[in-house]
Structure 1
Amino acid sequence: MADMEDDDLLDALGVEAAPTKAGAHTKLEERLIAGFEDILRFVETNGRVPQHGEDRDIFERLYAVRLDRLRGMPEARELLASLDASGLLSGPVAAVVAVDSLDDEDLLAELGVDAPADDEDITQLRHVSSYADRQTAEEIANRARCEDFDNFQPLFEQVERDIQSGQRKTLRFGRDASVEQGNFFILDGQIAYVAEVGKAARTPNGESNARLLVIFSNGTESNLLERSLQRALYKDETGRRITDPDNGPLFGDTIEPEDIESGTIYVLRSQSDHPYVSEHRELIHKIGVTGGKVETRIAGAKDDATYLLAGVDIVATYKLAHINRTKLENLFHKIFAPAQLNLTIEDRFGKPVKPREWFLVPLHVIDEAVNRIRDGSITSMSYDPTTATLRKQPE
Structure 2
Amino acid sequence: MSDPGLDELAAELSDFAAPEKKGGRPPREERIIAGFEEIQRFFEKHGRVPQHGEERDIFERLYAVRLDRLRALADCRALLTPLDHQGLLAGASSVAATEEAIDVDELAAELAGAAGAEDITVLRHVRTSTEKRAAEEIAQRQPCEDFETFKPLFDCVQREIKEGIRETHAVHKLDELKLTEIQQGEFFIVEGQLAYIAEVGDDIRTKYERRDSRLRVIYDNGTESDVLQRSFQRALYRDEAARLVINPSAGPLFSDEVSEDDQESGTIYVLRSKSDLPIVASNRDVLHKIGVTGRSNIAARFANAKNEATFLLADVEVVATYDLYNINRVKLENLIHRVFDPARLDIDIKDRFGKPVVPREWFLVPLFVVDEAVERIKDGSITQYIYDPDSARLVVAGRRSEKSH
User: Is TM (by shorter chain) over 0.5?
Assistant: no
Instruction: Please say which structure displays the higher CA radius of gyration.
Output: 1
Higher relative contact order (CA 8 A, sep 6+): 2
Normalised by the size of structure 2, how large is the TM-score?
0.34
